[in-house]
Amino acid sequence: MAKRRKVGNLMALAVLSALVQQPMHPYQMASVLREHGKDQNMKIKWGSLYTVVQNLEKHGLIEATESVRQGGRPERTVYGITDAGRAELTDWVRELLSTPEQEQSRFTAALSVLAVLSPAEAADLLAQRLDALDKRFAGRQAALAEAARDVPRLFLVEEEYELAVAEAEIGFVRGLLGELTSGTFPGLADWQTFSETGVVPPELAELMERGLHPQ
Amino acid sequence: MAKRRKVGNLMALAVLSALVQQPMHPYQMASVLREHGKDQNMKIKWGSLYTVVQNLEKHGLIEATESVRQGGRPERTVYGITDAGRAELTDWVRELLSTPEQEQSRFTAALSVLAVLSPAEAADLLAQRLDALDKRFAGRQAALAEAARDVPRLFLVEEEYELAVAEAEIGFVRGLLGELTSGTFPGLADWQTFSETGVVPPELAELMERGLHPQ
DNA sequence: ATGCGTATACTCGTGAGCGAGTAATCAAAT
DNA sequence: ATTTGATTACTCGCTCACGAGTATACGCAT
């Protein structure tokens, strides 16, 4: 599934959703997005913003409505969403919502090459991560609670989701770290000797040959 | 933090980790990665693979050791990792492991524009997602259990992590869906009338003006 | 012996993504 | 009065990612 969108960048989604409210010029989009806390999850890349706006216009999803100049400032082109744009927006949301897609996280990548470090160092680094995760989580949770006082849930669900996932990551890291520090992680001794001497334990060597995930 | 890597693509990490085992040529890297189930999380893009290998060589992290031709096949260049490459690998893993970075997920993006759909449709789509998630989760869990019979935990942690996160997502979606179908989601009535009539409830209109996340 | 499908092993062109730079305006400070 | 620093508002050009295409060889059937 996941048909190719004319404009695939997720920033395009944000732009379309901003323009549904009212027409605006690119820089204003950025401000609005920032106000709505979208920049928390998605850093605003200036290059992308203007490229995306161009592409959206090229594909008729938005259109330049007017071009204002105030003072000696560079001219600002105001864009509005078209019917095609509105259609694309809802269709896109429908797809994103209904069909999960496995995305590659950097932490997953790190875990998949965990064996290049020694167990002790891995534990140390995981402890650092856990610390950072805990702090960040507390902050975000507080901010969410604060916002929930006057913003309806509907506009906070994405943050709730992120926090749910963050909590799961914290749990996982805490668990793994616990196993490493308590020494209950299975195969810890083999990993230890391998990292010290570079010697691959015999039962592992055989696995290397035939591949880890045989069908 | 997160200093710019000379080669930033995560496929480079996979390549380096493959070359730590033994020198090989690009196509073999792909095979090895596929055998180790890396293609599950990270689809192998041929263009990227060869670009990444080139870049790694350019920056001295790997080097061409020999160039074999067998039969009339195109010549295969065999690459080995350098000391600089080994250093980069461990340094990179250290960073990835210790410092969390918030990544933008497509589902988060979808949730942040949830209001463009009607509550009923949102519920319907979330139900579809939940279904897909459940199926995929069961499959992956079974595969993990199967693999765990002869592969050490050390090489399965990344899949355990993914499953932990997947479980959290399932829980979140199930919860949200429940609130929508049972009607207990706060502000559901407002959302409903807005989606039918396009009328923004007064207490919301005011929020729009001053921004959702004021500092 | 010849055709056909599949595995091997890349190459190349396109286009997307983005950081760093630019330049004007405005407010406050010296 | 003018220097400084922040805010507004973009532009440019490089790099990177990647899909689709290419071409050869091998095995198996006809």
In 3D, which of B169, B199, B175 has the Cα closest to residue B107?
Answer: B169
**Residue B68: in which H helix or E strand, if any?**
strand B62-68
pLDDT recorded at residue B114: 96
Residues A67-71, mean pLDDT to the nearest whole number: 61
- Residues A2, B56: Cα–Cα separation, whole Å: 32
pLDDT recorded at residue A77: 86
- The contacts of residue B53 (CB under 8 Å, 6+ apart) are B15, B26, B29, B62, B79
The lowest-confidence range among A88-92, B50-54, B75-79 is: B75-79
CB of B211 nearer than 7 A to strand D:
no
Which pLDDT tens digit goes with each residue over B75-92? 678 999 999 999 999 999
Mean pLDDT score of chain B, rounded to an integer? 87
* Contact assessment for residue B166 and residue B137, using Cβ atoms and an 8 Å cutoff: yes
Q: Architecture of domain A10-98 in CATH? A: Orthogonal Bundle (1.10)
Q: Provide the 10 A C-beta neighbour count for residue B186.
A: 12
Which pLDDT tens digit goes with each residue over A117-147? 999 999 999 999 999 999 999 999 999 999 8
**Per residue in A55-77, is it b (16+ CB within 10 Å) or e — as a string?**
bbbebebbbeeeeeeeeeeeeee
Chain B residue with CA closest to A144: the answer is B213
Confidence of residue B1 (pLDDT cuts 50, 70, 90): very low
Choosing among A35, A86, A104, A112, which should be mutated to test the B contact, i.e. which has the most B CBs within 10 A?
A: A112
pLDDT recorded at residue A215: 37
Residues B185-195, mean pLDDT to the nearest whole number: 94
Q: Provide the 10 A C-beta neighbour count for residue B67.
A: 10
Which among B20, B104, B151 has CB closest to A41?
Answer: B104
- Residues A194, A116: Cα–Cα separation, whole Å: 10
Choosing among B111, B125, B151, B194, which should be mutated to test the A contact, i.e. which has the most A CBs within 10 A?
A: B111
Tell me the residue type at B45.
Answer: K
State what percent of residues in chain B have pLDDT above 90: 65
Report how far apart, in Å, the C-alpha atoms of A185 and of each of A102, A191, A206 are.
27, 10, 21
**A-proximal residues of B, 149-168, CB under 8 Å:** 150-155, 157-158, 160-162, 164-165, 167-168
* Contact assessment for residue A144 and residue A164, using Cβ atoms and an 8 Å cutoff: no
